[in-house]
Amino acid sequence: MSETINEREKSASYVWFDAEFTSLDLDEARFLQVAVVLTDPQLKRFVPEDDDFNVFAKLARRQKVSDWVEENLGDCLAHCRSNKAVEIEEIDERLAAYLDEHIAPPSDEEKFRPVLAGNSIHNDWFLVRKFLPKFASRLHYRLLDVTALKLEWEHWFVGEAFDKENIALIKQYFPASSSALDGRPHDAYYDVHASIAELSYYRSQLRIR
């Protein structure tokens, strides 16, 4: 088990989050897969990769999914329809316990809570608040959205895009990425590592300290 960090350092924790949804229509969407990696602001892991959070949500028999999801997320759907899938309420409980164990017990002061991070993280945050309230109650009000840097880098600096399908590039910029990555974008566990590596890439290019 990792050491619990000091109360005053909690907001210096990044909860890297990625998820797959049943639809891009957020008013109708439900979680299919949830993945979390915990780091400090220097992108150093708090826990080893074997303790990363990667869970598939149980898909109700009559739950509709978009045509795109049906066509492109076959493996994910198979997991969600298997006996290994987990009810969303249990995922919420497990995520809350995960933060309590590896970061610190929840704080009444929001400024001391860890920050949710990822690409287009506002979409995830919308569904987190809707379906994962216990997890959400442990998070900071601020979000770290790598997509904002992506837009500035590609449109303002006209820099070379980060290739999220390049496993070697992901491991170059996030050496602590999982050895289990198999080059499947649109898998939440893969994508959460790619987001961390992408931020590291922009920092190196923009010399952010």
* 65 close to 77: Cβ distance less than 8 angstroms: yes
Is the model's pTM score more than 0.85?
yes
Mind giving me the DSSP string for 47-111? S-GGG-EEEEBPPPTT----HHHHHH-HHHHHHHTSTT-B-HHHHHHHHHHHHHHHT-S--SSGG
- Count the residues in the chain: 209
**SS3 (DSSP) at 148:** helix
Residue corresponding to tokens 């979390």: 36
CATH architecture, range 9-206: 2-Layer Sandwich (3.30)
Pick out the chain residues at pLDDT < 50. Answer: 1-3, 7-8, 10, 209
Instruction: Show the tokens assigned to 103.
Output: 């970061």
At residue 11, the pLDDT reads 58
How far does Cα 183 stand from its chain's mean position?
17
Q: What is the pLDDT of residues 175-198, one digit of tens each?
A: 999 877 876 778 999 999 999 999
Q: How many CB atoms lie within 10 A of CB 200?
A: 20
